[in-house]
Amino acid sequence: MKRVLVCGLVPDIGGLEKIVIDFYNNLNTDEFEFEFLLQGPEDVEFSEHFKKLCKNPIVVHRIPKLRPNIKLALKEWDKFFRNNAHRYDILWSNQNGLTHLEFLKLAKKYGIKKRIVHGHCATADKFYRFIHPINRLFVGKYATDFWACGVEAANHFYRGKEKNKALVVNNAIEVEQFLYNEEIREKLRKEYNIPENCLVVGQVSRLYEKQKNQSFCVKVFSELVKKEPNSRLVFIGRGDTTFLTNLAKEYNVEDKVIFTGLKSNVGEMLNLLDVFFFPSNFEGLPIVLVEAQANGLPVVTANHLPVARILENYDNSLSLKDEWKLWTDKILSVRDGRILDRDYVYEEIRKHGYEIKSATRQLESLFNE
pLDDT, tens digit, for every residue of 298-351? 999 999 998 899 999 999 999 999 999 999 999 999 999 999 999 999 999 999
Phi then psi for 286, rounded to 5 degrees?
Answer: -65, 120
Amino acid at 89: D
Q: State the chain's mean pLDDT as an integer.
A: 92
Q: If you average pLDDT over residues 277-283, what whole number do you get? A: 92
Q: Which pLDDT belongs to residue 44?
A: 44
Sequence spans of domains, the chain: 2-172+354-368, 175-350
Determine the CATH number of domain 175-350.
3.40.50.2000
Phi/psi for 233 (5° steps) reads: -115, 125
Coil/strand/helix, residue 137: coil
- 268 pLDDT above the threshold of 80: yes
- Measure Cα distances from 183 to 45, 187, 270, 338, 356 in Å: 30, 6, 13, 15, 25
Phi, psi values for residue 112, rounded to 5° = -75, 120
The DSSP H or E segment spanning 185 is: helix 182-191
Q: Bridge-partner residues for 118, per DSSP? A: 94, 147
Partners of 92 in beta bridges = 6, 116
Total-model pTM? 0.85
Contact call for residues 275 and 334 (beta carbons, < 8 A): yes
Q: What is the bridge-based pairing of β-strands 114-119 and 145-148?
A: parallel
In order, the DSSP letters of 246-297 are HHHHHTT-GGGEEEEE--S-HHHHGGG-SEEEE--S--SS-HHHHHHHHTT-
Quote the DSSP letter at residue 17.
H
Alpha-carbon dihedral angle through residues 128, 166, 23, 183, given to the nearest 10 degrees: 80
* The residue count for the chain: 369
Among the ranges given (46-60, 98-112, 227-241), the one the predictor scored with the smallest mean pLDDT: 46-60
Q: What is the pLDDT of residues 124-167, one digit of tens each?
A: 666 667 888 999 999 999 999 999 998 989 999 999 999 999 99
Phi, psi of 178 (to 5 degrees): -115, -5
Query: With contact defined as beta carbons under 8 Å apart, do 36 and 92 qualify?
Result: no
Edge-first strand listing for the sheet containing 199-204: 257-261, 231-236, 199-204, 275-278, 299-302, 314-318
CATH superfamily of 2-172+354-368: Glycogen Phosphorylase B; (3.40.50.2000)
